[in-house]
């Protein structure tokens, strides 16, 4: 009777413990997650980030990625008027000329922004902006008194920012900025400006049908030359930068594989009987792979200077450690029977490795090498931004300007396409080399 009572008490205790454990898990885990999210909320200053976020800046950034703006600028000191796409010299219209929506005259220049929005540059630096539904805004910038503006109403709307020395009017049609020294109109257009041909090309402004017609008529070489040497988009330089990036990844990955394979034999237990050699080789691998490629890039750039070769060396050093560890583990798992069978034929040690070991680990080696080649193609973009080579450098330069966001979009699209191509190529090559051709033979 006492034993039965003790057993019942024991079972009841176990049931109570299991019940408490489940309750703790059901309530403790959500509480822990909530505490962690609360910590992140304050540690990363999410409230401050929300306050600093500006919708207008975000909207302008997104718009700049798929559109461009044409500048119509008047120098208020000399009276000269110029028209340029993105305000760059490479996109400047010839003197006294501009886009079709700008009528340049000796005394007055009329800028038709569409939908009834008209800006007029008059004599003596006078400027007016006729805004439909609001009225005529006039301004007279002078060196002594600043920007003297007159509005149709006493109330200043939010889309007008006016002070003594500067006035900015932003509408859906465009933007007018007036200072003492400059009056400038910005008008946005969807697309990437002068992507195919610059203004000095005879093919600028032509439709695709007419360009194709001229190409078929024998002008294909000149058309290609004008596109390939585009001064604004630099297609030739971009293509070379992509090649440098892929070459950087290829040299680093393949070089690491060639260095790591012989060293992997020294780190494998079944091929290196001396523990000292194994441990030294393994620590060698740990040291190289323990330091990220970006750190090696900075160190090598300091030692050898910037350049694509520096990036390739950084990838080589890091991947040597990674490959060494993976290759040594693959060697430790080889089938000894195949090696013994070749050894029974009187084969020498190198022959045993060549015909008994390498064929077994080749699929693993190729799979890992091709995977790292694909991954290093992405890494080479960032490394190139530090070492001064490849598409990464061009991407960084475009971002630093804070204005060429359409070029940033262009480079990002190319990087994505490059990674997709390398992914497809590595997968195709893996099937060919490891699994045979597509027919299975």
The per-residue pLDDT string of the chain (441 residues; one tens digit each, 9 = 90 and over) reads 444 455 555 455 655 566 556 665 566 667 777 777 787 777 777 777 766 666 666 676 677 777 888 999 999 988 899 999 887 778 888 888 888 999 988 889 999 999 999 999 998 889 999 999 899 999 989 888 888 888 988 888 889 988 888 999 999 899 999 999 999 998 988 888 888 998 888 898 888 899 999 999 889 999 999 999 988 889 999 999 999 999 999 999 999 999 999 899 899 888 888 889 989 999 999 999 888 888 888 888 888 888 888 889 999 999 999 999 999 888 888 777 776 677 777 767 677 777 777 778 888 888 889 889 988 988 899 888 888 788 988 888 888 876 668 888 899 999 999 989 988 888 888 787 766 544 444
- Reading the block at residue 183, the tokens are 């009056």
166-170 and 175-179: which strand pairing? antiparallel
Cα dihedral value 345, 349, 350, 353, nearest 10 = 80
Q: Are 272 and 265 in contact (CB under 8 A)?
A: yes
Show the CA angle centred on residue 95, arms to residues 90 and 101, nearest 5°.
Answer: 85
CA–CA dist 107, 203 (Å, integer)? 32
pLDDT value of position 19: 58
How many residues can be counted in the chain? 441
CA–CA dist 249, 243 (Å, integer)? 10
Write the CB contacts of 141 (distance below 8 Å, at least 6 apart in sequence): 76, 125, 127, 147, 148, 178, 179, 180, 183
* Phi, psi (deg, nearest 5) at residue 117: -80, 115
Q: Are 76 and 125 in contact (CB under 8 A)?
A: yes
Residue 309: half-sphere exposure toward Cβ, Cα within 13 Å = 3
Closest CA to 177 of 162, 190, 155: 162
CA–CA dist 432, 414 (Å, integer)? 27
- Reading the block at residue 263, the tokens are 């060293």
Three-state DSSP class for 161? strand
Residue 136: strand pairing partners? 130
Closest CA to 198 of 238, 222, 239, 226: 226
Inter-helix orientation angle 308-332/235-267, to 10°: 30
Q: Are 351 and 342 in contact (CB under 8 A)?
A: yes
Quote the pTM value: 0.76
| Exposure class string for 73-108: b at 16+ Cβ within 10 A, else e | bbebeeeebbbbbbbeebbbbeeeebeeebebeeee
Q: Are 72 and 100 in contact (CB under 8 A)?
A: no
Inter-helix orientation angle 293-304/308-332, to 10°: 140
CA 203 to each of CA 93, 112, 195, 209, 229: distance values in angstroms, whole numbers, following the listed order: 15, 25, 12, 11, 13
pLDDT value of position 441: 44
pLDDT value of position 75: 92
- Residue 412 class from Cβ within 10 Å (0-12 exposed, 13-18 middle, 19+ buried)? middle
* Phi, psi (deg, nearest 5) at residue 200: -85, 0
pLDDT value of position 113: 93
Task: Give me Rg for the CA atoms of the chain.
Answer: 34
């Amino acid at each position: 009777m006492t034993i039965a009572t003790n057993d019942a008490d024991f079972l009841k205790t176990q049931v109570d413990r299991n019940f408490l454990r489940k309750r703790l898990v059901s309530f403790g885990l959500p509480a822990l997650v909530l505490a962690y999210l609360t910590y992140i909320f304050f540690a990363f200053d999410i409230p401050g980030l929300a306050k600093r976020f500006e919708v207008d800046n975000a909207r302008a950034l997104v718009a700049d990625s798929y559109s461009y703006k044409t500048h119509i600028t008047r120098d208020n000191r000399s009276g000269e008027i110029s028209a340029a796409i993105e305000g760059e010299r490479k996109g400047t219209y010839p003197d006294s000329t501009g886009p079709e929506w700008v009528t340049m005259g000796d005394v007055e220049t009329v800028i038709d922004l569409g939908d009834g929005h008209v800006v007029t540059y008059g004599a003596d630096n006078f400027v007016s902006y006729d805004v439909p539904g609001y009225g005529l805004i006039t301004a007279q910038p002078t060196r002594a008194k600043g920007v003297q503006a007159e509005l149709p109403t006493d109330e200043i709307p939010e889309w007008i920012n006016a002070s003594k020395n500067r006035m900015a009017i932003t509408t859906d049609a465009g933007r007018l900025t007036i200072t003492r020294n400059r009056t400038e109109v910005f008008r946005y257009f969807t697309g990437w400006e002068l992507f195919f041909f610059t203004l000095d090309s005879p093919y600028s402004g032509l439709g695709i049908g007419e360009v194709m017609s001229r190409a078929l008529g024998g002008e294909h070489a000149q058309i290609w030359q004008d596109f390939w040497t585009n001064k604004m988009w630099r297609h030739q330089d971009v293509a070379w930068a992509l090649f440098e990036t892929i070459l950087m990844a290829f040299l680093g990955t393949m070089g690491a594989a060639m260095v790591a394979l012989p060293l992997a034999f020294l780190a494998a237990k079944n091929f290196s009987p001396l523990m000292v050699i194994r441990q030294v080789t393994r620590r060698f691998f740990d040291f190289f792979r323990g330091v990220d490629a970006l750190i090696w890039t900075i160190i090598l750039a300091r030692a050898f200077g910037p350049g694509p070769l520096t990036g390739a060396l950084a990838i080589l050093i890091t991947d040597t450690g990674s490959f060494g560890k993976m290759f040594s583990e693959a060697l430790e798992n080889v089938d000894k029977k195949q090696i013994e069978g070749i050894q029974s034929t009187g084969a020498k040690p190198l022959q045993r490795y060549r015909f008994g070991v390498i064929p077994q680990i080749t699929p693993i080696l190729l799979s890992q090498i091709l995977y790292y080649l694909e991954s290093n193609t992405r890494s080479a973009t960032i490394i190139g931004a530090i070492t001064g080579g490849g598409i990464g450098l061009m991407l960084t330069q475009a971002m630093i300007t804070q204005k060429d966001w359409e070029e940033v979009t262009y480079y990002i699209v190319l990087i994505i396409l490059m990674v997709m191509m390398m992914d497809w190529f590595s997968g195709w090559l893996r099937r060919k080399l490891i699994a045979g051709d597509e027919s299975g033979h």
